[in-house]
Amino acid sequence: MARTRWTRTRLLALAAGLQAGCGLLLIVDMLSEISDFRGDPAHALLEIAILMSLVLGSALIVGEFRRMRAANARMEGRMRVASGAFLSVKGFSVEEIAGLRAARASTVRAQSAAVYRKAGVSSRAQLLGHFIDDLLAGAEFGDAAEE
């Protein structure tokens, strides 16, 4: 997943750079032909429309780049919380989880409390019980499993 994100980032940066370069070239071209625009206003309008399209495209690229960065930050936050919950279920203490993740114990406690609240439980044991219940819900026992 990280490889795709970096590829998109590079592509967006390349597209933004190309558009900025084309925009600058167009501005230089327009300035060099400014005296010709009086005789052919349609040509001037066309170049202005092209320049506006480049500006709009650049603005959309910047917006997409910001959206991607924000989504990435949200995903990383969710992954940190999920990894803390996973380590908690595996039996690691809050201090051990904090040490593994280079975070403060209070941060791990707050994230654990958020996980417990979302799962509708109040402790690590109840959260583990939820996981076990889900695992056993699909299991068949006894004669039904043999048939």
How far is residue 130's CA from residue 87's CA, in Å, rounded to a whole number?
A: 15
Residue positions counted in the chain: 147
How far is residue 44's CA from residue 37's CA, in Å, rounded to a whole number?
A: 5
Residue 89: inside a domain: yes
Domain that holds residue 71: 2-139
Residue 68: inside a domain: yes
Each residue's pLDDT tens digit, 79-91:
888 888 888 888 8
Residue 11: inside a domain: yes
Residue 91: inside a domain: yes
pTM given for the model: 0.55
Residue 7: inside a domain: yes
Residue 146: inside a domain: no
Average pLDDT, the chain: 84
pLDDT over threshold 70, residue 143: no
Q: For the chain, how many structural domains are there in total?
A: 1
Residue 45: inside a domain: yes
Each residue's pLDDT tens digit, 33-71:
888 778 888 888 888 899 999 889 888 988 888 898 899
pLDDT over threshold 60, residue 145: no
